[in-house]
């Protein structure tokens, strides 16, 4: 389990985790992914950038 010291570290860890998952899904042949943003579009943009999608 990952341990983080701050809210910002938790956010960054979540973005990295999601980016890795998206990358793996796309590489495995998933035709797409759906991300629930809950008005956090900046985080979704970071996920896509880190996954190499955008």
Would you state the pLDDT for residue 28?
98
Domain boundaries, the chain: 7-51
Tell me the two tokens of residue 36: 């629930």
For residues 35 and 17, give the distance between their C-alpha atoms in angstroms, rounded to a whole number.
13
Would you state the pLDDT for residue 1?
63
pTM for the model stands at 0.86
Give the residue from 39, 5, 4, 36 showing the smallest Cα distance to 18: 36
Residue 31: alpha-carbon gap to chain centroid: 17
Summarize pLDDT for 21-45 with one digit per residue, the tens.
999 999 999 999 999 999 999 999 9
For residues 16 and 51, give the distance between their C-alpha atoms in angstroms, rounded to a whole number.
9
Residues 47/40, Cβ–Cβ less than 8 Å: no
């Amino acid at each position: 389990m990952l341990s983080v010291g701050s809210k910002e570290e938790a956010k960054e860890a979540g973005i990295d985790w999601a980016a890795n998952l998206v990358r793996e899904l796309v590489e495995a042949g998933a035709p797409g992914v759906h991300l629930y943003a809950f008005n956090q579009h900046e985080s979704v943009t970071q996920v896509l950038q880190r996954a190499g999608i955008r």
